[in-house]
Amino acid sequence: MNYVSHYESPIGGMTMTSDGESLTGLMFDGETYFEEVLGSEAVQDGRETELLPVFQQTIKWLDTYFQGSVPDFTPKLVITGSPFRKRVCQIMLTIPYGHTMSYGQIAEIIAAERGIKKMAAQAVGGAVGHNPISLIIPCHRVVGSDGSLTGYGGGIEKKSALLELERSGSLG
C-alpha cells in the first residue's frame, strides 16, 4: 500500500509517499513524473492527529532544510527504479549541502565503476530526472558541465531557489 501526505514548502506544495515504513517519494506537486511516483493505489494518510512516523521525520527534515540548516538525519528511504537509477541516486546522496556535481561527473564515476571508458551524461540526466525523492536525494544539486542550471522536474526557478537557500541560508 502506498500512503500519501502533503507538505507546504515556502516554494510550493509537496507530496510525500510511503510504503508505511519508509519514504518512497517526495516531489513538488505537478513535478515531472509525479504520477509515476504517486502510483495508482495511493491512500491518503487520513490520520489528522498523528501522521506515519516516516512522514513526521520527513516534515522535520524539510522544516530544518527550509530554515536554511543542514538536517543531521535522513528519514528511512526506499529508492525504486533500475539498478542504474538507484546508483545515480546513491551518488546524488553524496553531494554535500551547498555544493554541486555535474551530470558528466556522475557519468565518470559510474563509467569507472563499470570499467568502461565513457558513460553518456544524457543517460545520467534521465536517471536524475526520474529521482523519486526530491530534496533529500538532492537532484537539484546536479548541474550542467559548465555549472548551468539544467533540467529540474520541479522547474528551474525552484532549482535556483534551492541552490540559493543552500548558499545563503534563505530563500531570497
pLDDT tens digits for 3-36?
Answer: 999 999 999 999 999 999 999 999 999 876 555 5
Q: Is 89 one of the annotated active-site residues of the chain?
A: no
Which of 52, 107, 139, 142 does the annotation list as catalytic? 139
Q: What is the mean pLDDT of residues 52-79?
A: 96
pLDDT tens digits for 86-105?
Answer: 999 999 999 999 999 999 99
HSE of 2, CA atoms in CB hemisphere, 13 A: 15
Q: What is the pLDDT of residue 50?
A: 64
Burial per residue of 61-76, b for 16 or more beta-carbon CB atoms within 10 angstroms, e otherwise: bbeebbeeeebeeebe
